[in-house]
Amino acid sequence: MPKKATAQNKINPDPDKEGKAFPSFEAALSELEKIVIHLEAGELPLEQALNEFERGMQLVHLSQQTLQQAEQRVQILLNDEPDAQLTPFTPDAP
């Protein structure tokens, strides 16, 4: 019986060129964190390390695209308000 999609394992249904479904932004970040941990441990054989690195780069590219799309959506929403301006995000700001 297949698992139900949750916020943690939700995938984007649009398949990539190999027919695999793209992971959600959150799932991509989680997978990327695991890849970094494996690579930093330095215990993988060279070929496996290269495969992990390649997958990590795919996830980075996917995540960047997702963030760019989100930024575009925010800009579109702000365009509905002529006085609204984009300001740089600073996480420490009150």
pLDDT mean across residues, the chain: 77
Residues 88 and 92: their CA atoms lie apart, in Å, by 12
User: In this structure, is the dihedral angle defined by the CA atoms of residues 44, 49, 55 and 61, taken in order, positive or negative?
Assistant: positive
Average pLDDT for 16-30: 76
Residues 92 and 45: their CA atoms lie apart, in Å, by 41
8 SS3 class: coil
* Percentage, residues of the chain above pLDDT 90: 50
Q: What are phi and psi of 29, to 5 degrees?
A: -65, -40
Structural domains in the chain plus CATH codes:
23-79 (1.10.287.1040)
Which of the pair, 17 or 47, is modelled with greater confidence?
47
In whole angstroms, how far apart are CA 45 and each of 50, 54, 57? 9, 14, 18
For the chain, the straight-line distance linking the first and the last C-alpha, in angstroms and rounded, comes to: 47
Average pLDDT for 55-76: 92
pLDDT at 84 over 80: no
